[in-house]
Structure 1
């Protein structure tokens, strides 16, 4: 039986996702929610594509979701990869007779017991994209109403993931600025130089080592001013 979710209910889901503290918690909450609201869904995970093209699974609900995703990455085929490449939703009602992915489909059907798969692309920012992967142990698991529910959920998940990543970047930037300020103060005191000179010194060290200024500042704060710092 299809679970009928109204606009108000989706709004509550969106608020719940946005209230998660951290990127990983948002991923976990998103996939758990998919199990709850998409009828027939037995396993779920999110595939994320990095700027360099590497794909990883986050927030899996179980080991079956992890392995189903991993087999796609290993074989280079499957609903998730097709969804990402074609920027579209991809559905297979019965993997035991699926011909689009001749290596992936028979393997997950026989070894993992997965019979239906639904992958929906997630737009999670200008530098990242992903896919919500829903798997079912029964064939014909995702009817039209279920696919509509999954589409609505995917849209909310994408917004929540983008917000969580933005917050994480802001938190990281704040920590870096604080660390750099502390390192500047330590250099100023130890070397009797100005703040501009202290920052310039860290920039020179970062360029010489080919690392970020924040990494140099972290080393100074944790290890102090030592001779190897300027080698």
Structure 2
């Protein structure tokens, strides 16, 4: 039977989880903290995982307590089926009493048949009426969880989803800014490399870019890497222009 939590014990567990999330600076850190805290707080849990999903059900940030949990979740995304994705899509908790006899996700159940997983609960993370992901727990024995365990998971999930959503929103401008800086840096590298080739070979900008692209295909590199090599060659041999490998 699942342990029935008295109110003070439940409050302590929730307070610990919320405290961990509030001190997390990044979404990735927060979901990892939450996974560990849920594992420690719910009796019978072999492992736990938390995934924040994008609108296409692709994981954006994920936290796991072990490689088994990580692989079991990865199989859901690869097969596009499983309790975590269903909980996220339906915004309802999913309880599996025995994976060995579970028929709702036959491909996923067959894929994890050799895993030490028999009982599962997946609970959606809902913030402002939208499911942003799911948290899940696994147990090695059948019948390890019951409706009361699912209700406990939902108590954890509600405030956790709100905090994760706030952390994620706060991170978004930083991630966009970092991506923009990377894009601008790459464009600058390519432009500078084109300028060097234009001067060296007296060719137009389009021709210089085509040379970079051919070199990238030939070496299975990116335009950014090839451009960086051109600049590095100029820096290493300022009086010799042949080190970039482009003619």
TM-score where L is the length of structure 1:
0.69
Superposition pairs of residues 182-221 of structure 1, within 5 angstroms: 212=180, 215-216=183-184, 218=185
Superposition pairs of residues 101-140 of structure 1, within 5 angstroms: 101-108=105-112, 110-124=113-127, 129-140=132-143
Is structure 2 residue 171 aligned with structure 1 residue 168?
yes
Shift of 1:55: 3.5
Shift of 1:127: 8.3
Is the Cα contact below 8 Å between 1:28 and 1:59 reproduced in 2? yes
Rounded Cα–Cα distance in structure 2 between residues aligned with 1:121 and 1:54: 15
SS at match of 2:121: strand
Q: Which structure would you say has the larger Rg? A: 2
Aligned to 1:21: 25
**Which of structures 1 and 2 has the larger relative contact order (alpha carbons within 8 angstroms, sep 6+)?**
1
Rounded Cα–Cα distance in structure 2 between residues aligned with 1:150 and 1:28: 16
SS at match of 2:64: coil
Rounded Cα–Cα distance in structure 1 between residues aligned with 2:43 and 2:82: 22
Could you give the per-residue CA deviations for residues 197-219 of structure 1, whole angstroms, max 9, x where no partner exists?
xxxxxxxxxxxxxx958843x56
Q: Structure 1 residues 96-105 or 22-31, which shifts more? A: 96-105
Pair 1:228–1:70, CA change in 2 (3 A): same
Is structure 2 residue 84 aligned with structure 1 residue 80?
yes
Rounded Cα–Cα distance in structure 2 between residues aligned with 1:57 and 1:171: 15
TM-score where L is the length of structure 2:
0.65
Q: Size of the alignment, in residue pairs? A: 191
Pair 1:51–1:39, CA change in 2 (3 A): same
Rounded Cα–Cα distance in structure 1 between residues aligned with 2:146 and 2:55: 34
Rounded Cα–Cα distance in structure 1 between residues aligned with 2:59 and 2:108: 16
Could you give the per-residue CA deviations for residues 139-193 of structure 1, whole angstroms, max 9, x where no partner exists?
11112332222111111321221122123235457xx4xx9xxxxxxxxxxxxxx
Rounded Cα–Cα distance in structure 1 between residues aligned with 2:26 and 2:159: 16
Specify every segment of 5 or more residues in structure 2 that has no aligned partner in the other structure, as ranges: 196-204, 206-247
Specify every segment of 5 or more residues in structure 1 that has no aligned partner in the other structure, as ranges: 180-210
Pair 1:85–1:93, CA change in 2 (3 A): same
State the Cα RMSD in Å: 3.1
Poorly superposed stretches of 4+, deviation over 4 Å = 124-128, 170-173, 211-214, 225-229
Aligned to 2:161: 158
Aligned to 2:58: 54
Rounded Cα–Cα distance in structure 1 between residues aligned with 2:119 and 2:131: 27
